[in-house]
Amino acid sequence: MMLFKTDLLYTAVGEPIQNGMIRMSSDGEVLEVGQKLQSETSEVKYLPGGICPGFVNTHCHLELSHLKSKVQSGKGLVSFIQGVQSQRKAEEEEIHEAIRQADLAMWKNGIVAVGDISNGSSSFHQKIQSKIHYHTFIELFGFDPQKAKDIFESGKTLKAEAEKVGLLASLVPHSPYSVSNALFKYLKAEKNNALLSIHNQETAAENELFHANSGELKEMLESFGLSTEHLKANKQNSLPTYLPLLDKEKPLLLVHNTFTSASDLEQAEKLHPHLYWCFCPAANQYIEKRLPNIKNYVAADVKCTLGTDSLASNDGLSILEEMKIIQAEFPEISNAKLIECGCKNGAEFLGLTDFGTLEIGKKPGLNWLENLKAPDALSGTKVRRLKV
């Protein structure tokens, strides 16, 4: 057993415990949490700063790790998509080594679980041997309604391949502008599909496409040889338009939300009872040079999670660094709230009862927040995974 003491113990449930202590078993189970715990049978290790649970990264593209620094930043989503498409191909060895290094980096950065997007099987080998828990989202693209059935069946084949090697997986739509209503219907009818995820309102052009069937995304789709004739302009933003097409009984992760309005947020919460809002601030800055108005989501008391997106759109894969970016822009958001988003809510979305909070009986992993100077300021803090 090991007994840790720290200045601020963030359990991810409520406010931090000042001068908190936590007793862990040799296999990582939380045995006791509080203040002034007895130390007769345990060595006490004092760690100045703070301790929190292992981080949960709800949105990553591990298979794009070889694209680090290869796609130009700050040019908007359409330019980014085109850059990924043009640079995506590489030698298999290069792709696999980049995936291995990215997985190791996340582990070192205190991440214990990841919701990872897959368009192919290149990341499967690393995930099955990783120390990190992965849920694989098999992402479907298909704006042509005539091809919906074939695309859906191809996705089911890849999902079966993931499950055959022991990975948890589900089929998900990439985004509202890349999935036809016909493909949405196939997804909604699929019963063996526990969790859903979708890229949501990452660019202003997405709302323009649904409002008026015009703009940059329309031009991009047409450049790919795709017609948007079946997409009827409805003078609504994308989110209230497509959300009824998804199964409202399944947990749904809305990723990015950079151009989600207050009205969209309110409508979405009424339309879907199991929503989680994922923010990837480093990627938002990299691609659109803009952050979502995250303080609105905190004020609305909705369930928020954090993601890193990919190394194609980020300089690193660290949930702590994502927290710092948010707090630099919105200093009123407390450490405790950010840790709730980066630990508890992510674990809850992924259905991981062992992770997310420092509560007796769980095995959430422990992160030392080294050099933490204040209870509501993360600037200058570093994360170190604790061995127990």
Angle subtended by helix axes 181-189 and 148-164, to nearest 10: 40
| The pLDDT of residue 29 | 97
- Cβ atoms of residues 12 and 54 within 8 Å: no
Which segment of 112-121, 293-302, 312-321, 371-380 scores lowest on mean pLDDT?
371-380
Domains and CATH numbers, the chain: 2-52+374-386 (2.30.40.10), 55-355 (3.20.20.140)
CA distance 107 to 113: 9
Per residue in 152-164, pLDDT tens?
999 999 999 999 9
Q: What is the mean pLDDT of residues 323-345?
A: 97
Is 232's pLDDT higher than 90?
A: no
Tokens 């939380």, located at residue: 30
- Model pTM score: 0.96
Strands 252-256 and 196-200: parallel
User: pLDDT by residue (tens digit) across 13-50?
Assistant: 989 999 999 999 999 999 999 998 887 666 799 999 99
**CB contact burial 159-188 (16+ within 10 A = b; e otherwise):** bebbeeeebbbbbbbbbbbbbbebbbebbb
β partners of residue 386: 366
Among 317, 264, 258, 307, smallest CA distance to 287 is for 258
